[in-house]
Structure 1
């Protein structure tokens, strides 16, 4: 089986130790890598993962340029990257154009670190521009063990933007709502053609029967394998999908074909 891990994180060598330690101390989770790109590649090799998507987040408007430049620098045949804009950046729309020009795949948002709700009206011009540029909008979804208890990115909020922006390609991580599984079934699973899920780090938090029900409702052709590495071992999500009573074709879609189709990789 081939694997494309659509949800991974890494930092520059200079920042990795401090960044990973801070998040590990907050969450109590032992990271699977040292947070570096070389650490991610080692983990990919251990699990037979051919390609991965890096999802950096600009937690301040001032970080956009540096983060996006680094993402463009590390893009390669095995590492794909999204860029990031901060919702409060005055030049967010201009930076989206630059993200496109850098050859990045999309734009990563994290509501709990950037302090916004996905369906806030201030975000609408940003979504319109992302759709116009043909980029992917990737969101954290649901609860996050590394942030405060408030949940801003809910399945209901993704339903609202998927409906309002039908030309916007949305990837909602953690099945669109970590820990909000009943709401996923109610509001998002299988409801919108432009809404994709990933399964990053969900192996710790969901029962197999509900996961299978969500995948069946969503359709295996709109679900992406992801680990959220270094915040989970990719082997856990590989085993989780592997043990479900899905067909081999469905597993292939989830493990690599959907990502390749979404990114138009021949």
Structure 2
């Protein structure tokens, strides 16, 4: 990937479809609920893009992307998209796509071995965690063997923070617990793994100030601005993006729930300083990913 040829780098895109056959029972209802929350008609119709579709879409727009699955097999029963498959397709589209992986921390030392193998053999650059979807607190010591492996391999971690569209409006919220995604739990992780780069994903409603506090205090914590249209960004997030955290804010869309077209269009109308825009859209990610 040559960032000089691209207009932006989207740090937050999803590989949604499960591997190894047809969708699992309940997966259609889960995706329909997500589509309703994000007002995404393609998801409601079961028309989610493949990883190759994603690469084609982003290449047409000259936008690079980081793509990942989410391993929530234990908590949801849905089979994860194969980390190896995502990495293989990303490698075939390396001009536009970088692979992250996902491992449920409950897999313990087996998960740590998998993480090392994915970095060394498949070129995986980072790992996605979704505490609400995976049912764990980020500072749970049971996750630390996996973090140790990620830190030692020089990879990045990306954590969902704040409220989630997963289960929103569904009976019992699909048994999802919002409490796990308070970004303050990342403060312990950042202190205990100071050499591991951590991205707190999304405006962290209702804990936006906690996320800003952790990112301001801990040098290894960044924030991606995905999952919300920029026109809904809280003023304090825009304030910090323009000032104290201008070198630690990252463009992310949350594809396919939110498209880069929509995000970038609304970003143009947001009160972000002109000199800060290229930092958010590309330059901060260039430095973080050492591209």
TM more than 0.5: yes
From 48, 55, 66, give the equivalent of 1:53: 66
- TM-aligned CA deviation for residue 209 of structure 1: 2.2
From 211, 234, 253, give the equivalent of 2:279: 253
CA contact (8 A) 1:220 1:254 kept: yes
SS in 2 for 1:155: coil
- Asked if 1:143 is matched to 2:163, the reply is yes
- TM-aligned CA deviation for residue 77 of structure 1: 1.6
- Asked if 1:23 is matched to 2:30, the reply is yes
- CA distance in 2: counterparts of 1:36 and 1:144, whole angstroms: 22
Unaligned segments of structure 2, at least 5 residues: 1-5, 168-172
From 111, 114, 127, give the equivalent of 2:131: 111
SS in 1 for 2:49: coil
CA contact (8 A) 1:119 1:157 kept: yes
* Stretch moving more, 231-240 or 96-105: 231-240
Which residue does the alignment assign to 1:120?
Answer: 140
Which residue does the alignment assign to 2:208?
Answer: 181
Q: Number of aligned residue pairs: give it.
A: 261
TM-score by length of 1: 0.86
CA contact (8 A) 1:57 1:109 kept: yes
Which residue does the alignment assign to 1:35?
Answer: 49
- TM-aligned CA deviation for residue 15 of structure 1: 7.7
SS in 2 for 1:215: helix
Q: Deviations over 1:127-149 (max 9, x none)?
A: 12211110001111111121335
Structure 1 pair 93–215 and aligned structure 2 pair: CA distance change class (3 A)? same
Structure 1 pair 189–168 and aligned structure 2 pair: CA distance change class (3 A)? closer
Which residue does the alignment assign to 2:113?
Answer: 94
- CA distance in 2: counterparts of 1:234 and 1:206, whole angstroms: 15
- Asked if 1:196 is matched to 2:215, the reply is no
Which residue does the alignment assign to 2:84?
Answer: 69
SS in 1 for 2:9: strand
CA contact (8 A) 2:241 2:272 kept: no
Question: How much is the aligned-residue C-alpha RMSD, in angstroms?
Answer: 2.8
Structure 1 pair 116–169 and aligned structure 2 pair: CA distance change class (3 A)? same
- CA distance in 2: counterparts of 1:15 and 1:26, whole angstroms: 23
- CA distance in 1: counterparts of 2:166 and 2:284, whole angstroms: 28
- TM-aligned CA deviation for residue 181 of structure 1: 2.0
Which residue does the alignment assign to 1:10?
Answer: 15
